[in-house]
Structure 1
Amino acid sequence: MNGLCKISKTSEAIRLFRKMEERNLELDVVLYSTIIDSLCKDRLGLCNCSLWNEVTKLLNEMVERKIMPDVLTFSILVDTFSKEGMLKETKEVFDVMIQRDIEPNTITYTSLIDDYCLQNRMDEAVKAFKTMVRKGCSPSIVSNSILIHGYCKQRRIDEAMSLFCEMSTEGIFPNVITFNTLIDGLCKNLHLPKVMTLFHEMEDKKLDLNFVIYNILIDGMCNAGKLTTARELFITLPTKGLCKEGLLIEARELFEKMEENGCSPYHVTYNTIIQRFLQHNETSYVVKYIKKMVDKAREVFNTLPTKGLQADVWTYNIMIKGLCKEGLLIEAMELFEKMEENDCLPDHVTYNTIIQGLLQHKETSCVVKYNKMMVDKGFSAIATTATILINLLFTN
């Protein structure tokens, strides 16, 4: 039954439960609580009247059979009401626990604290937190993070920082969620020096620096007018593994958010996003999407002059490579020709990139032209270019 509930097959679990009942097998508080928990976790209890009636029915059965709900049963109900923002019901269930001498545990208190925070009743949340400690229930990372979030929402930053510092002294080490919550609160209240201190602490602790924290930081820095810091943070994304193919959409959204917030990226920032758009067009399963990625890279490249930025040789090399990979050789050659017009001289990488692209598409007549140009400029073919040429000769 527990296995069925864990994979959200609550209906099957209830049928099994009723079969046990028909066979007069013993039903205990654990079985009832398991079913009730599954109904509530599926968010069906309060969103679907018939299934919430099932929860009520199960609770009534427990009373009739003199199976008294325990701390787990009550905690499930408190948590469910709390997540639905039903503070009145949350408090009523909590009070019934106390009346029946069933001591709430950390999970029960945390759910109550969460509900108070959601309703912006911070004084009552703090009171519940202190009662939890006084009753010998050790606060968890979750309960501390919830309270910190509540403080930040009400701009009580000093109290949020104080609780954050107390956590370590109590042997509770903040996790990514705790850091993200506090940093978000600090950004929104313009406590920027503390923000970067906490961010560097996350790096030192080798915590998972995902798009959530970068979103918070870049948004906060843009809103505060710290545009250089925002750009620097964006440029570090590839080094953190956050421009991989599966995360490229998030990188693009973050890039666009910078522009929306008036943070005009430097050419290095543009190079970062252009390179990532083109680097992952090797995904063979969606050619159409690959084309869109190249188009987007071209679009970004073409906007550089309107941003008052001059493309450098690295930018041209990235674009030429991407165009060659897509078979857009005429466009790649036209871009090559524009380099000198724009006072940006091709380097050995540029020549090798375009020659490799031409070789791969068997445009041998053009290869001769660019190879001569390369030699005249004092550059030579790299090993990869030479290998492609040799393979092409043998194939022919």
Structure 2
Amino acid sequence: MQLFREISQKGLKPNIVTYNTILQGLFEIGRIGVAKQLFVEMVSAGPTPDTCMVLCLMVILSTDLLKKLCHSLISWKERENVNIMYYNIIINGLCKNGELDKAHAIFQKLSSMGLLPNVRTYTMMIAGFCLQGLLGEAKDMLRKMEDNSCFPDNVTYNVIVQGYLRCRKINEMVTFMKEMTGRGFSFDATTSELLVKAISENPSIVDMLPELHAEIKK
């Protein structure tokens, strides 16, 4: 944002690409309010929103208008080659902004629009469920992606393990940990931090499986 403000200070004018970039970044971290304010500034400055931006703006629209735009995007896809990447931006922003129902509604519409969720799409939905404590739904989503031949990666497993750790569901966490180590994946920094905290509260966790010893040594 500081760099963005410097553009005007240096006598330059942000174009639609500049605005798209900063708005996508804001949506990615769930700062919907700031994104909305920036969009108002953009409208007054002159650049016309393009397809990518309109998709992102769906995040701040009402549910009814959101549904109408989703339907209209079927024809947009053919003309503008709308990519799953844009929907990932929207889903991620909604999940981080606590609007899981809207994110899930968009996710369910993807196939009807001829778009296939990729590993990032599934991972963001799993993260959204975990943030709401809906671990059963997160697990179902993990199995669903595998059934659809979209296989979880290291990030996916870390997200779901973190969800179970935060909810103190240690036995279930161990099951996923066995899966991820069996597939050659490892804990990231956040997962390791949560695991250390859980062990400090319950040292018996270390004895639950040999793989945990190896992870801790790392």
Aligned-residue offset at 1:48? 4.7
Could you state the TM-score of these two structures normalised by the residue count of structure 2?
0.67
For structure 2, the residue ranges without an aligned partner over 5 or more in a row are 44-48, 58-71
Mapping of 1:12-51 within 5 angstroms? 15-17=14-16, 34=21, 36-41=23-28, 43-51=30-38
Aligned-residue offset at 1:163? 1.0
Give RMSD over aligned pairs: 3.8
Which digits, 9 at most, give the CA deviation of each residue in 1:256-311, with x for residues without a partner? xxxxxxxxxxxxxxxxxxxxxxxxxxxxxxxxxxxxxxxxxxxxxxxxxxxxxxxx
Q: Aligned residue for 2:102?
A: 89
- Comparing 115-124 with 170-179, greater Cα deviation is found at 170-179
Q: 3-state SS of the aligned residue for 1:136?
A: coil
Among 193, 204, 207, the alignment partner of 1:191 is 204
1:148 aligns with 2:161: yes
For structure 1, the residue ranges without an aligned partner over 5 or more in a row are 19-30, 206-396
1:102 aligns with 2:115: yes
In 2, the alpha carbon distance for the partners of 1:84 and 1:120 equals 15
State the structure with bigger RCO (CA 8 A, min sep 6), 1 or 2.
Answer: 2
In 1, the alpha carbon distance for the partners of 2:113 and 2:22 equals 22
Is residue 100–residue 128 contact of structure 2 (8 Å, CA) maintained in 1? yes
Aligned-residue offset at 1:59? 1.4
In 2, the alpha carbon distance for the partners of 1:14 and 1:114 equals 37
Could you state the TM-score of these two structures normalised by the residue count of structure 1?
0.40
In 1, the alpha carbon distance for the partners of 2:103 and 2:116 equals 15
Mapping of 1:1-396 within 5 angstroms? 9=4, 15-17=14-16, 34=21, 36-41=23-28, 43-51=30-38, 57=49, 58-59=53-54, 66-194=79-207, 201-202=214-215, 204-205=217-218
Q: Cα–Cα, structure 1 residues 116 and 104, in superposed 2: closer, same or farther, change >3 Å?
A: same
Which digits, 9 at most, give the CA deviation of each residue in 1:14-60, with x for residues without a partner? 82337xxxxxxxxxxxx9975652342465433453335679x5316
In 2, the alpha carbon distance for the partners of 1:11 and 1:89 equals 35
Q: Cα–Cα, structure 1 residues 168 and 10, in superposed 2: closer, same or farther, change >3 Å?
A: farther
In 2, the alpha carbon distance for the partners of 1:161 and 1:173 equals 13
Q: Which amino acid aligns with 2:91?
A: V
Is residue 152–residue 185 contact of structure 1 (8 Å, CA) maintained in 2? yes
Greater Cα radius of gyration, structure 1 or 2: 1
In 1, the alpha carbon distance for the partners of 2:189 and 2:96 equals 21
Q: Cα–Cα, structure 1 residues 48 and 71, in superposed 2: closer, same or farther, change >3 Å?
A: closer
More helix by share: 2
In 2, the alpha carbon distance for the partners of 1:51 and 1:32 equals 8
In 2, the alpha carbon distance for the partners of 1:157 and 1:34 equals 39
Which digits, 9 at most, give the CA deviation of each residue in 1:121-168, with x for residues without a partner? 111110011111222222122221221122223332111112112112
Which digits, 9 at most, give the CA deviation of each residue in 1:62-83, with x for residues without a partner? 9697324211000111111111
Q: Which amino acid aligns with 2:54?
A: L
Is residue 8–residue 38 contact of structure 1 (8 Å, CA) maintained in 2? no
| Count of aligned positions | 187
In 2, the alpha carbon distance for the partners of 1:42 and 1:152 equals 22
**Aligned sequence identity (%):** 21
Which digits, 9 at most, give the CA deviation of each residue in 1:310-355, with x for residues without a partner? xxxxxxxxxxxxxxxxxxxxxxxxxxxxxxxxxxxxxxxxxxxxxx
Q: Cα–Cα, structure 1 residues 164 and 16, in superposed 2: closer, same or farther, change >3 Å?
A: same
Is residue 186–residue 194 contact of structure 1 (8 Å, CA) maintained in 2? no
